[in-house]
């Protein structure tokens, strides 16, 4: 019997701090050796406290992933996958108020790199499943846990590798939850909780123009730099039209109703005005009402008096669900003749239904802890490991619940991920653990 007087969530902040103290900085292939240490800690917890035998799998030396299955009470139900990454981005200690890997708990916050991306959710999940045996409770359905490597540099050694090499570990998974969703955003006293039900796709491209090398003092109409720069000017000047996916349309409609804000989704100007009127919550939609192309790098030449034969640029392209072919056709038209493109990385968009039992169960879990919550489906502007697991046909959602301070001047959650002085409120962690406990046991 679950003892409701047992404040089992009290240790989640300490667990989050302990994970932060393991430096799992991911600087690229071959340079995230701390992942192995974190994976061993997680695997030991799952064995000692949960009583399951995890699979510990390395895609490369010390690039380690942990997968475990917790049996549910009803084996006829499809399993739920809960995935989180153990790696973090680099942190320059000189810029921080506290050492980024000290895992300090002070002033009501857990401080350190990974506090919100995403050792907070990893700690919440471990706190929840680690409490079940001593509380005498169990989930309705199987829960598959995946703590993975390498998310911060694309997931090739983490989620993507698991999906390609060990798909059997995810047999029977009917849905999945991961990072980036379920956190509160307060606008005019209303607490809105966006749950990630979609993600824009990622297409990172290298653009290349070739021409005739020569001396810069001589006329040369076949100049690779000129060809490329002309193409880049067209790409930079292009204004992508509004393209509302079902998730974004529902997000704007529900937010407008909750905040009593006029919603006009009939024209591009109307959508832009609606996003602006929605304030802090509208910011979450600003990047997802359109596809986008952003130039991020340019390389050509080595001497001022030499026309190079090759000029290259980098293009970050983000694509809404249903739009990849259309976006690529437009990019090709903008580039024109003489410029080729090749993919550096490519991840398809994600679109999962928000009119589903899974979304309803997440909503119910939030309402159980915050009866005034307004829940919205949400499209992420960037991407997560959800892209990898979607390839197995698993609907994926962003659901790492946190109830955050209302005033962004007190705590600005959006500035935390990858930022200086990253931290997460202790009370928010405890809230998140309770919500996840409700969801994972009852869904």
DSSP-based three-state secondary structure for 216: coil
Peptide bond before residue 170 is cis, with ω within 30 degrees of 0:
no
Q: Name residues of the chain where pLDDT drops below 50.
A: 1-5
| pTM score | 0.94
pLDDT in the model for residue 3? 44
CA distance 414 to 284: 10
Q: What does the alpha-carbon distance between residue 62 and residue 36 come to, in Å, rounded to a whole number? A: 5
The pLDDT value recorded for residue 94 is 98
For position 28, what pLDDT does the model report? 78
> Buried b / exposed e across 394-420, counting CB within 10 Å, b at 16+?
bbbbbbbbbbbbbeeeebebeebbebe
Name the helix (H) or strand (E) containing 341. Answer: strand 339-347
In sequence order, what are the residues at sequence separation of 6 or more whose Cβ sits closer than 8 angstroms to the Cβ of residue 95? 420
Domains, the chain, with CATH or none: 8-180+384-442 (3.40.630.10), 199-347 (3.30.70.360)
55-95 pLDDT, tens digit each: 999 999 999 999 999 999 999 999 999 999 999 999 999 99
Strands (E) in 188-283, as ranges, are 190-199, 201-210, 214-215
**Strand, coil or helix: what is 384?**
coil
Query: Can you give the pLDDT at residue 30?
Result: 65
Please name every residue paired with 25 in a beta bridge, in sequence order, or none if there are none: 88
d(CA 180, CA 196): 6
Element containing residue 442 per DSSP (H, E): helix 426-442
- Other Cβ atoms less than 10 A from the Cβ of 91: the count is 21
pLDDT, tens digit, for every residue of 187-207? Answer: 999 999 999 999 999 999 999
């Amino acid at each position: 019997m679950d003892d409701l007087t047992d404040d089992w969530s009290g240790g989640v902040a300490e667990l989050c701090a302990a994970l932060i103290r393991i430096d799992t900085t991911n600087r690229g292939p071959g340079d995230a050796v701390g992942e192995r240490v974190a994976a061993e800690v997680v695997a030991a917890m799952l064995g000692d406290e949960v009583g399951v035998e995890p699979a510990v799998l390395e895609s490369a030396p010390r690039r380690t992933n942990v997968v475990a299955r917790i049996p549910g009470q009803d084996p006829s139900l499809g399993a739920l996958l809960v995935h989180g990454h153990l790696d973090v981005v680099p942190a320059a200690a000189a810029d921080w108020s506290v050492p980024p890997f000290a895992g300090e708990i002070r002033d009501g916050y857990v401080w350190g790199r990974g506090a919100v991306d995403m050792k907070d959710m990893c700690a919440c999940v471990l706190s929840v499943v680690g409490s079940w045996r001593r509380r005498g409770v169990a989930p309705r359905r199987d829960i598959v846990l995946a703590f993975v490597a390498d998310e911060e540099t694309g997931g090739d050694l983490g989620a993507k590798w698991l999906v390609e090499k060990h798909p059997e570990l995810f047999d029977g998974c009917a849905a999945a939850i991961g990072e980036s969703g379920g956190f509160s955003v307060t606008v005019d006293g209303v607490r809105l909780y966006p749950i990630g039900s979609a993600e824009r796709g990622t297409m990172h491209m290298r653009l290349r123009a070739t021409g005739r090398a020569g001396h810069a003092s001589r006329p040369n109409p076949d100049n690779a730099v000129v060809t490329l720069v002309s193409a880049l000017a067209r790409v930079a000047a292009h204004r992508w039209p509004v393209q509302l996916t079902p998730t974004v349309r529902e997000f704007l409609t529900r937010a407008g109703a909750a905040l009593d804000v006029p919603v006009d989704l009939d024209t591009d100007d109307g959508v832009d005005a609606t996003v602006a009127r929605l304030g802090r919550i509208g910011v979450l939609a600003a990047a997802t009402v359109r596809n986008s192309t952003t130039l991020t790098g340019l390389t050509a030449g080595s001497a001022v008096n030499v026309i190079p034969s090759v000029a290259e640029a980098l293009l970050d392209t983000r694509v809404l669900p249903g739009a990849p072919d259309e976006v690529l056709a437009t990019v090709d038209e903008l580039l024109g003749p003489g410029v080729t493109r090749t993919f550096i990385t490519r991840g398809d968009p994600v679109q999962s239904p928000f009119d589903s039992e899974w979304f309803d169960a997440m909503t119910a879990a939030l309402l159980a802890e915050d009866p005034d919550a307004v829940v919205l489906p949400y499209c992420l502007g960037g991407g997560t490991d959800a892209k990898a697991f979607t390839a197995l046909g698993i609907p994926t959602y962003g659901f790492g619940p946190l109830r955050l301070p209302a005033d962004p001047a007190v705590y600005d959650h959006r500035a935390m991920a990858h930022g200086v002085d990253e931290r997460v409120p202790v009370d928010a962690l405890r809230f998140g653990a309770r919500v996840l406990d409700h969801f994972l046991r009852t869904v």
